[in-house]
Amino acid sequence: MAESKTADVMDKIVSLCKRRGFIFQSSEIYGGINGFWDYGPLGVELRKNIRDCWWNDMVRRRDDVVGLESSIIMHPKVWEASGHVGGFTDPMVDCKVSKQRFRADQIFFAAVVVDGKTAGYVTVLESERIAEELQEKAETFKRKKAIQGKLEPVRPLDFTEATPEEIPQIPSPATGEPGSLTPPRAFNMMFETYVGALRDESAIAYLRPETAQGMFVDFKAVLDTGRVKVPFGIAQIGKSFRNEITPRNFIFRSREFEQMEMEYFISDDDDWARWHRYWIDWCRDWLVSVGIPASALSEYNHPKEKLAFYSKGTTDLMFSYPFGVQELWGIAARGDYDLTQHGKASGQPMEYFDDVKKKRYVPHVIEPAVGVDRILLAILCSAYCEDQAPDEKGKMETRIVMKFHPRIAPVKVAVFPLLKNKPELVKKAQEVRDLLRPYMTVFYDEAGAIGRRYRRQDEAGTPFCLTIDFDTLGEKGPELADTVTLRERDTMKQERVKISELLPKLLEKVR
Ligand code: GAP
């Protein structure tokens, strides 16, 4: 873990991601497109490892969960039945002067109250320090306007709570002046497209905003073919799309992202709270198993009054990102709402016949839903570390190291010949590379001083480096022949290992 996880760490992580080829802004040569990201050579390996770990643990290693890959564009009626056409909205506010658009629940304002009288309003955007920032702004407001009297402590509210009388008096976060913010309007976040040659209402379809509906719509098909019995789950990994009003915090909130969702169907009279707890614990343990420290995780229970009417409970696993504690993984107990809705709308009852209890019912569901990109960001933040290490001349310098869990590291081992102009060293190093390559991601590098090559791999988060030197060739005696230097990333400790023992030794560490 990095010692300091303050906001400037975020800038360092973003810059490292670009420098080392983890993540790039999409379409950067054209100025970029907000809310879309490309994953470079290291990023794509990291993503794949996250997906593979989840799939192995969630599907392959369990008897009660099966997989699914449904299409991204589904029948538009799916999204009517699920409630997304009518209700998948965020409250949006426009600034008429700057033309900027905000989510109303991310604008915070407070009345500047002096001696019991409102003298004006101040605004800030959502941050870790909303109350402090509003208080500072209120003090500045009072000073600038030379208002005499006692300033009361601010009471922060979000813009959805502003009354029609207050709205014209609240300053825009873009201009700092009141009068330009519109009242909040519901903005549907689904991306629309057209299917077929016609471009009219009848051809409108949507890019899915979540993968979950695939599992509900295919529930019967899986039931009839999958030899599954309640309780069981259907899992899917795939892209989802949301036209977020304010994509932000790097890959945290994007417009195109990937979800890993699982719908776990339980009997209508089962103890849903027990299953809910079971899946919260499973998700937390899984995050720890891929290198996210338990100390950076917390739970947030959505208050009853804010839940959808059908929801029995939702708990979010929160991660302490450098920009604040934010939702990472939502675990929702959704009752029988989704299956019932699709049963009604399609005319095909989504029922299950329980041949032990001899009864037919619509199963209830527990849904752990997470974004690959949010896990990836949490992993990047957990792994980022700065320490001190000697440079080639023995002088201490700051070393940036990504301490990825070996299970998730994009490259498991780097292989270096000590010198690139010695064919015997190069040949031996390539033999070692080819020995390991069928079993793990190997990076072969012969360019530059050995210390520099180590530093590059530290930034890439490669847990092990192997150096092939003259000892390997037996030049310093037969006892060191066919041994290599194995260097461990976190401790920088080096040991001599026989080439014949490398594979089992490394496999044990990276699997
Ligand atoms: N089927 C339920 C569902 O989609 P959600 O809370 O809207 O619930 C689930 O999304 C998870 O998907 C979130 O916890 C988060 O990890 C991820 N997610 C949602 N919106 C995202 C976005 N705009 N960018 C990146 N990840 C997102």
- DSSP line for 174-214: TTS-BT-BPPPEEEE-PPEEE-SS--SGGGEEEB-S-SHHH
Question: Residue 1 — very low, low, confident or very high, per pLDDT cuts 50/70/90?
Answer: very low
241 forms bridges with which residues in the sheet? 256
- Measured in Å, residue 391 CA sits from the centre of ligand 1 at 43
What is the tens place of the pLDDT at every residue in 93-126? 999 999 999 999 999 999 999 999 999 999 999 9
For the residues 395-410, what does the mean pLDDT come to?
Answer: 96
pLDDT at 306: 87
114 forms bridges with which residues in the sheet? 117, 151
Tell me how far apart the alpha carbons of residues 465 and 406 are, in angstroms, rounded to a whole number.
13
- CA neighbor of 180 nearest in space, from 109, 90, 94, 92: 94
pLDDT at 289: 97
Residue linked to tokens 């092990």: 464
For the residues 440-451, what does the mean pLDDT come to?
Answer: 95
Q: Which atom of ligand 1 is nearest to the CA of 213?
A: 1
For the residues 17-38, what does the mean pLDDT come to?
Answer: 97
Question: Residue 7 — very low, low, confident or very high, per pLDDT cuts 50/70/90?
Answer: low
- Measured in Å, residue 353 CA sits from the centre of ligand 1 at 32
Specify the DSSP class assigned to residue 73: B
Q: Is the pLDDT of residue 392 over 90?
A: no
pLDDT at 227: 86
Residues with CB under 6 Å of ligand 1 are 210, 212, 242, 244, 253-254, 257, 259, 261, 327-330, 367, 369-371, 373-374
Question: Residue 229 — very low, low, confident or very high, per pLDDT cuts 50/70/90?
Answer: very high
pLDDT at 511: 82
> What phi and psi, each to the nearest 5 degrees, are found at residue 36?
-130, 140
Mean pLDDT estimate for the chain: 95
Tell me how far apart the alpha carbons of residues 322 and 306 are, in angstroms, rounded to a whole number.
27
For a mutational test of ligand 1's pocket, the pick from 54, 259, 377, i.e. the residue with the most ligand atoms closer than 8 A to its C-beta, is 259
Distances (CA, A) of 369 to 68, 278, 328: 15, 14, 9
Handedness of CA 156, 152, 324, 327 (dihedral sign): negative
Q: Which atom of ligand 1 is nearest to the CA of 211?
A: 1
- CA neighbor of 506 nearest in space, from 481, 477, 478, 486: 486
pLDDT at 6: 63
**Model confidence, pTM:** 0.93
Question: Residue 34 — very low, low, confident or very high, per pLDDT cuts 50/70/90?
Answer: very high
